[in-house]
């Protein structure tokens, strides 16, 4: 029976949780980049991009258009 050597990951860095990455996600979204494009460029998961955008404090949702009735003469 051979002895299998085990290797351990000594440095683990979750780049999706750093503040710099979150700022880049928001900046890229405001510039019109899609979720898949952002995830590919930053080497993070699409789910990470979606969750960061959902947790954004000032979401840029379009204001609903209100119908104003025309004044009658």
Fill in the DSSP letter of residue 18: S
What is the structure's pLDDT at 33?
A: 95
pLDDT at 59 over 60: no
Domain ranges, ordered by start, for the chain: 15-54
Helix axes 46-54, 19-30, angle to 10 degrees: 80
* Interval 5-57: pLDDT, tens: 888 878 777 888 889 999 999 999 999 999 999 999 999 999 999 999 999 87
Cα(35)–Cα(25) distance, integer angstroms:
9
């Amino acid at each position: 029976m051979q002895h299998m050597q085990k290797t351990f990951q000594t440095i683990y860095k979750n780049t999706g949780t750093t503040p710099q990455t979150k700022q880049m996600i928001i900046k890229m979204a405001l510039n019109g980049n899609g979720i898949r494009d952002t995830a590919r460029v930053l080497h993070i998961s699409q789910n990470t991009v979606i969750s960061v955008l959902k947790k954004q404090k000032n979401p840029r949702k379009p204001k609903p258009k209100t119908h104003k009735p025309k004044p009658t003469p």
